[in-house]
Structure 1
Amino acid sequence: MNVAIIDDCKTDQITISHCITQYFTHEHTYGSPSIRCFDSGEAFLSAFGAGQFDLILLDCCMAGMNGLETALEIRKLDKRCALVFITVSTDYAVDGYLVSASGYLVKPFTEQSFAQAIQVALSGSADQRTYVTLPHAPHPARLLLKDIVFCDIDGHYIQVHQRNGAILRVRMTFRALCDLLAGHPQFMEAFRGCIVNMAHIQKVEELNFLMVSGERVPFRKKERKKLLQQYSDYLFDNTDLKQLG
């Protein structure tokens, strides 16, 4: 779960970061959070790209670009991420409809009210609720499908490479993993013992998939044509261009 905090007050950044950490420590549905803080809307937008963050918390009143102006720019690139405004007044609620805001937090807030707002924000999107549960001690690991870049075998373990760079090792068979991901068309078996999330392929090289994480997943030359056709079909089925005809 990738989280951005946009607030020009360092103290508020620390408070919000603490609340985020506490929330995800007790809520195992979305995995561990990766948190980045920004002092202004301008600083955030200079580093922002579509699909980069799952949850963005932003202060309504900031020097320079305010929260709404920042959110309008965010929505030009990303329609799906959850946006939560942090404000001292509910007067900004109407403006939130312009950017499909997922929630509001009114200062000062408690950890309980914070958790409730985040829960509502993340449950508002079907994409945010699509996850798999993997065997892992001491608690089963629940990972969002869109956080999985690729999976490969290492001995008796499956290694799950995630968008935040973390690798989760779970003791399970490759066949069990295939069964778990069956029915989710974004996953493709690149070779025996490796499954890639086609949504996270950045580039197709001669004998590798370059993933958004910077990692390379190899495939055999004789499989290239079949894999590229499967990837091409996936891209076609998931683009709005086909609706123009």
Structure 2
Amino acid sequence: MSDSGTLKIAVCDDEQAQRRQLQFLIDKILPGSQVDLYESGEDFLNSFRPGVYDLIFMDILMPGMGGVDATTKIRSIDASVPIAFATSSKDYAMEGYKNRVIRYLMKPFDPTEISEVLTLAGQMKGGQGGVTVRINGKDMNFSYEKICYVEQNTHTLYLHMANGAVLQLTGKLDDIEAQTPDDTFMRSHKSFLVNIAHVKSVDKDLQMFVMKDGDTVHIRRESMREAARMLAEYTMASL
């Protein structure tokens, strides 16, 4: 493993230009990180060993073994390595849920999104695997599964926790969202970020998530279909 300030990263993509762009962005955002490039799923799996990489960027559509099949094989021997799907289509959401990818990256790559993924992988490497916030001048980390949803009211954030506690702090919901994986957290409204794992149902009439603890969380009208899709796919993948 690399030291705490850098990451050991694999980029698997059949297009040389995409591999080079990702390598350039990683070198710029996180100098000193080791980046290994692979041009096929078969090529990557031939050299992959559990515990070697802190993060894998996996292209979905490749000749021969595609990214979904490669990721399924990776998960059969390494359940925890962070994997980000790189794609030009979100048609593979279900496969992402099944294989627990931390982010979908749409091509061409957005440097801000790459930076967020690197930050997330760094947190997971540090054994945190959650959201880090500053409360009373002290950084605190909360694992994803302990957070039901986060609400923003002006400059105040309210973290609604699985144990019933509500933590209050100053901050921006955007900063919390950037630390959470796309497959389980949804920005249902400008003021709400929801952990789908804690959702019981979607009330289409009231445009709300009904949480397992009885709370309700507002969903903007244009996000209703996405909310229903995410819950359905998460539920199916959890069966």
**TM value normalised by structure 1:** 0.47
Q: Greater share of helix residues, 1 or 2? A: 1
Decide which structure has the larger Cα Rg and report it.
1
Instruction: Name the TM-score, length of structure 2 as normaliser.
Output: 0.48
